[in-house]
Amino acid sequence: MQTFFGLVSVLIVFVWLGGKQVFPLQPICDLRVLDHFVREARDSVVIMRGSRGGCGAMKSYFVPLTSVDFAFWEHIDVQELAVEVQTGLSLLVQALSTAMKAVSNSRLANALDNNISNIHSLSQILHSLDLQHARSTVLPDDSAPASTQTQEVSSLPELLQVQSSFLRGKVRLLLSAAPACQRQNS
Amino acid sequence: MTKMSDRLKIVFMLCVAFVTTGGQHFESKVAQLLQDETEDIKCFVELKDLTCFWEEEEERNDLQYTFTYSYENKNKMACVVSSLSLLASNKTVFFCKLPKTPFFTTLDVQVFRDGRMLYSRSLNAENYLFLDPPRNLTVLSSGKEGQLNVSWLPPLLKYMDDSMIYEVRYAVEGSNMGKVEVIKVSTMLVLLGLQSDTRYKVWVRVKPDGVAYKGYWSAWTEPVLGVTQPSDLDPLIMVLVLFIGLILCLLSMTVILSHHKFLLKKLWPDIPTPEHKFPGLFTVYKGDFKEWMSQNNSSMWGRSVQVYTEELPSPLEVLSEVSLTSHGTSQREERKPVEEDEEKESERSDSGLTDRWREPPQAHWLMEQLRALQENPQSLSQSLLVQSHDTYVTLNQNSQGDGEREVDDVFEETLPLQTLFTTTGTTSLSTSHSDLGSLQQSSGSGRLSSQSSFEYPNQTWPPKGPGYTYMAVADSGVSMDYSPMSSSRITELGRHRMYTNDYKNEIFLHKWPLFGEHNKSGSESCMGPVW
């Protein structure tokens, strides 16, 4: 009986700790990781140009907006940016998965699959930055309407271009401006 | 009032200065791209603003142009066109600066003139960064020889410090040959391998690294001079070191020269040669020992002890003694050709045993002698004539009793046996040497037939046994090696004096039945002692 109660108490303690997130992830602030993903996204573009029928079927994909202007950079709202980045990454994953199924070239399909896994890794990196508010508000129909957050492209080359621009622009800016990384650098 | 006007003037001057500086940079960039860029409408980003310009040869008014741009499926937006006259090349360009340049998206720009589209281009602004040169370039001499510390500040751009790549160029002042070092992200560099005590010029330029941002190389900074440290070696010290080195060299040379013989002997020892013991052997006779022996035979006897010291003494056993009519000629006989012997045989046969044992006796003569011995053993004197049909050995008499014998024990012991032998029916031994080496001549017959024959009186021995046995052996232990068919080894020296001759003695078997028990076919062993 006593052992039973002891075990139960230990279990309760663990559950409470898990909820409290006593062991946070170490923030991953090294931009070279992102640069690696950017290079692999560029490789997909090269493979696509070199393969026959690389364009695939003409489909419409909903992809995030990628534009960033430096005026915006001067007054960055990290939380808002985090929401944008998370939404955009999920949209990209959906679009890339759809395109991968339509592509016949195995090499290109492998490259697209690699891009998808890279985006998943990016999500983990952003999670390590402890952007609490971003997690809670990652909903497509929250805050801004989806149309203002997305754009439509009609071919795989455009999709890959959007992916490259998004990674180099908004995602990179968020990693540079994240408070956890700022604390590390300073 | 005056204060306000002064302030306004200062502000105006600053603005002008800022504009001119910016304009200088701007103008230089435009001028550079005019040469390098091939597109009709050339664009670059300076200070986060995209500028697109085009060249026009004819005299035009800037109002005639319309510049529009759009991105992300948005509506087209217009941009104000301005003109710029390049002083250096005396050209006029029209340009437009986008007020809020969107990055990481595809921009579509178009230029219209009088309603007609002149140029069109789609580009991503982040790929055409044209940065300003690095700031605050400083060159300092490091503490070490041949090194310079170079450091600078990156151009003013937010969030781009880690995306930059720098190029450092350095050259000796006044020289056109420069070297270039590429460095990523870091804003300082240590130049290595430079000449000491030399003035160097250093330049730096910057470019985006090409991963997130791309662009053109910036202009070179103004050159900055740096001086490397002088070399540590003081000339005075160098002179002293050389002087001391010279003195040490002289001392060592003196020592070497004074003891050069000793050193030479140590380093290059002389190979010992036996030449001093064999005068003329190598110089006159060129190593031909036989020739040398033949020439020096007579003179060698006096020193034969010295000559044959290395050779194994051949033990002899005196088997019997034969009395001779005359003595005093117990020297070694020189071997002579068979032809000569045959001539003298007749003399021999008449005189019987003589002590001049020059000619090899014939078989019948020897037979007679042996029979005489058999009959009269007492007739044996100290001297023993041992003669075989073909081969015999002339032995020196021992010193026992006979004074005229010039035998001495030393001689007996040390001198090798002299073999005088001829082969029956085969080539005769032409050599006259009673040398050990002469045995090789017997190989013509293939075997030393009747090489060894010795008197072995089975009955009597002279009471005054000399203490040795005579033995006719074809060869000594050493010389037998020359003969291919026979070999003999001196198995034991000293008291027993045993000889083992492994050769066939066929003639013995045939003609010397007396010695049948002693002469065995195939091998023969000479046993002693007699007494």
pLDDT band at B461 (very low <50, low <70, confident <90, very high): very low
Identical fold at B10-129 and B132-227? yes
Q: Which CATH architecture has domain A28-48+60-185?
A: Up-down Bundle (1.20)
The single-letter DSSP state of residue A155 is S
Give the per-residue pLDDT at A160. 93
Overall average pLDDT of the A27-45 stretch: 89
pLDDT in tens, B126-172: 999 999 999 999 999 888 888 999 999 998 887 787 889 999 999 99
pLDDT band at B311 (very low <50, low <70, confident <90, very high): low
Give the per-residue pLDDT at B300. 54
pLDDT in tens, A68-103: 877 777 777 888 889 899 999 999 999 999 999 988
pLDDT in tens, B9-47: 665 555 555 444 455 688 888 888 888 888 889 999 987
Instruction: Output the CA–CA distances (angstroms, integers) from residue A16 to A13, A21, A119, A130, B191, in the order listed.
Output: 5, 9, 31, 19, 58
Contact B104 A166 (CB under 8 A): yes
Residues composing chain A = 186
Give the per-residue pLDDT at A25. 64
Q: Which of A37, A39, A61, A67 to mutate to test the interface with B (most CBs of B within 10 A)?
A: A67
Q: How far apart are CA A27 and CA A17, in angstroms?
A: 20
Report the percentage of chain B scoring pLDDT > 90.
Answer: 21
| pLDDT: which is higher, B56 or B449 | B56
Could you tell me if B383 and B321 are in contact, meaning their C-beta atoms sit under 8 angstroms apart? yes
Report the percentage of chain B scoring pLDDT > 70.
Answer: 53
pLDDT band at B250 (very low <50, low <70, confident <90, very high): very high
Q: How far apart are CA B458 and CA A2, in angstroms?
A: 126
pLDDT in tens, B325-338: 544 444 444 444 44
pLDDT at B316 over 80: no
* CB-CB neighbours of B359 under 10 Å: 25
Question: Which range, of A86-90, B1-5, B134-138, B495-499, averages the lowest pLDDT?
Answer: B495-499
Overall average pLDDT of the B215-221 stretch: 93
Give the per-residue pLDDT at B370. 67
- Choose among B234, B229, B233, B204: nearest CA to B217: B204
Give the per-residue pLDDT at B166. 96
Give the per-residue pLDDT at B266. 87
Contact A69 B102 (CB under 8 A): yes
Is B122 at the interface with chain A, CB within 8 A?
A: no
Overall average pLDDT of the B289-294 stretch: 84
The alpha-helical segments, DSSP class H, found in B157-281 are: 235-258, 260-267
Mean pLDDT score of chain A, rounded to an integer? 81
* Closest residue of chain A to B159, computed from CA coordinates: A176
Of A39, A67, A71, the CB nearest to B72: A67
* CB-CB neighbours of A142 under 10 Å: 12
Mean pLDDT score of chain B, rounded to an integer? 69
Q: Who's near B253: CB < 8 A, 6+ residues apart?
A: none
pLDDT band at A26 (very low <50, low <70, confident <90, very high): confident
Give the per-residue pLDDT at A118. 94
**What ipTM does this complex have?**
0.76
Å from A170 to nearest chain B CA? Answer: 8
Q: Which CATH superfamily is domain B10-129 in?
A: Immunoglobulins (2.60.40.10)
Highest mean pLDDT among A99-108, B395-404, B450-459: A99-108
pLDDT band at B378 (very low <50, low <70, confident <90, very high): low
Give the per-residue pLDDT at B489. 46
Domain ranges of chain A: 28-48+60-185
Give the per-residue pLDDT at A11. 81
Q: Which of B48, B73, B105 to mutate to test the interface with A (most CBs of A within 10 A)?
A: B105
CB crowding B36-54: b at 16 or more within 10 Å, else e: eeeeebbbbbbbbebbbbb
Chain B neighbors of A67, CB-CB under 8 A: 71-72, 102-105
Contact B159 A38 (CB under 8 A): no
Of B103, B211, B212, the CB nearest to A69: B103
Fold of the B132-227 domain: Immunoglobulin-like (2.60.40)
Contact B104 A165 (CB under 8 A): yes
Give the per-residue pLDDT at B319. 73
Q: How far apart are CA B149 and CA B138, in angstroms?
A: 8
The single-letter DSSP state of residue B160 is -
